[in-house]
Amino acid sequence: MTLTTAQKRARFAELHRAPGCFVMPNPFDVGSAKYLASLGFPALASTSAGMAFAAGLADGAVTRSYTLKHIGELAGATDLPLNADFEAGFARDAEGVHESARLCVGAGVSGFSIEDYTGDPSAPLYGLSEAVDRLRAARAAINASGETVLLTARSEAILRQAGGLPEALRRLAAYAEAGADVLYTPLVRTPEEVAEVVRVAGKLPVNVLVGWPGFTRRQLEDLGVKRISVGGSLARAAWGGLIRAATDIAEHGRFDALANLPTMNEITRAFE
């Protein structure tokens, strides 16, 4: 480790000002963070799903204290800036979000997201005014810290089937006014949808989730996207390998899936 937290934060902010589009993959533990760093990515992002799976829990079931410990470990594992998937701020009201955001900054992250999902499938989104107040509370916590930490406003309107793209765009526009540094709505799938998000964002950078084949980095860059994350996809890829191999052993007594694995040295070389 050679960079300080302040230097990583400055680097992360510069990535959002520089021309082009960058990929920010999502490790799910310290080992995967170090391996991704060895491949030359400029930044990393945590994944609430990958973190939860590693803890034997469903996405969204991890506590704030566990999350803070996890993102602190990831932030300190490499010289790369870390953007934290901080879910809905682990609080119902704006005051609670302010406290959670303060603690998140203290964990050493270079940025974090606050989403508008309530956790209740029957009423999945906070009302717009409440969601804006929660985002402003996170902004205020960052400002009070005096640190250069980027705030990503994340709308779940498409993912939770709560108004789709039109509602997501309405909310992102309000979140931009409330002090967001980056805008993000998961599950935009077409060039036209991405273009609409970029249009609403104006001068603010846009994050796009890519968790399936389709877009390339160049295509998203041409559409005006600033950064790309992959969410829980790498964690699911790791779990896919484990499930296939373990199922073959358990059900057939065969070990064919263990062929062509990376060697111990290939893995641990990234940790040096």
- pLDDT cut 70: percent of the chain above it: 100
* Cα–Cα dist 152/107, whole Å: 17
Task: For residue range 258-269, list pLDDT tens digits in order.
Answer: 999 999 999 999
Give this prediction's pTM: 0.96
Task: For residue range 3-37, list pLDDT tens digits in order.
Answer: 999 999 999 999 999 999 999 999 999 999 999 99
Domain ranges across the chain: 5-232
Task: For residue range 147-198, list pLDDT tens digits in order.
Answer: 999 999 999 999 999 999 999 999 999 999 999 999 999 999 999 999 999 9
User: Looking at the predicted structure, is the pLDDT value of residue 1 above 90?
Assistant: no
Helix orientation angle between 128-145 and 164-177, rounded to the nearest 10 degrees: 40
Work out the average pLDDT over 52-74.
Answer: 97
Q: What mean pLDDT is reported for the chain? A: 97
Q: Which residues pair with 83 in a beta bridge?
A: 45, 111
Neighbours of 222 (CB within 10 A): 12
With b for 16 or more beta-carbon neighbours within 10 A and e for fewer, the 35-51 pattern comes to bbbeeebbbbbbbbbbb
Given pLDDT bands bounded at 50, 70 and 90, which one contains residue 272? Answer: confident
CATH T-level topology, domain 5-232: TIM Barrel (3.20.20)
Sorted by sequence, the CB contacts under 8 Å of residue 71 that are 6+ apart come out as: 46, 82, 84, 86, 104, 107, 108, 109, 112
